[in-house]
Amino acid sequence: MITIREMPPEEADRIAEIDLSEDDDIVYYWINGRVEAVPEAWRRPRLDPTGWWERIAAVKADLAIGATLWGAFDDEKLIGVIVLRHCLPPVGAFLGQITAQLAALWVDRSYRRQGVARQLADTLIRAAQVSDAEWLYVSATPSRSAVGFYTSLGFLPTQNAHPELYALEPDDIHMIRPL
């Protein structure tokens, strides 16, 4: 049985247990003001703990400023994680709006398409809804699985990307949904 629970910061290093490798033949791009699917080989390799270092460091930095980390577990095996940043800095198009961020979502390759990501996302969305946030933001990997999943949650692509997040991930599809 899959269980979801909040993870304390000292468990963040366990994220390296997740196999996030993926292959696809569709990549999304902004073309003429629209998100377009383009046939193109895309591959994300399996990361070893060293390859996870930068991602885990970012999660720990978010946790240090109040973010929340949840894990999905199959018994004691960590099979997925999601991170909620409760409030993005209000800049650009986001002035005057309280916007939370789905900062990370990773599900182990062997557990995908089994509802794990949906359970994690539902947990995060409920937490964001009880906060003062009006919007939820995600910077999606431009893969078919990521963009399709976030669209199924009600996210829509936005060209009004958060400037700081766009600078970090200019190739991602930046998406937003009301809470």
Task: Outline where the chain has alpha helix (H).
Answer: 49-64, 116-129, 144-152, 163-168
Instruction: Please report the pLDDT score of residue 95 as a whole number.
Output: 59
Q: What is the pLDDT of residues 134-166, one digit of tens each?
A: 999 999 999 999 999 999 999 999 988 999 999
Domain residue ranges in the chain: 2-178
pLDDT, tens digit, 9 for 90 and up, residues 55-80: 999 999 999 999 999 999 999 999 99
What is the CATH topology of the domain spanning 2-178?
Aminopeptidase (3.40.630)
* Per-residue pLDDT, 98: 85
pTM above 0.85, yes or no: yes
CB-CB neighbours of 67 under 10 Å: 21
Find out whether 26 and 144 touch, Cβ atoms under 8 Å: yes
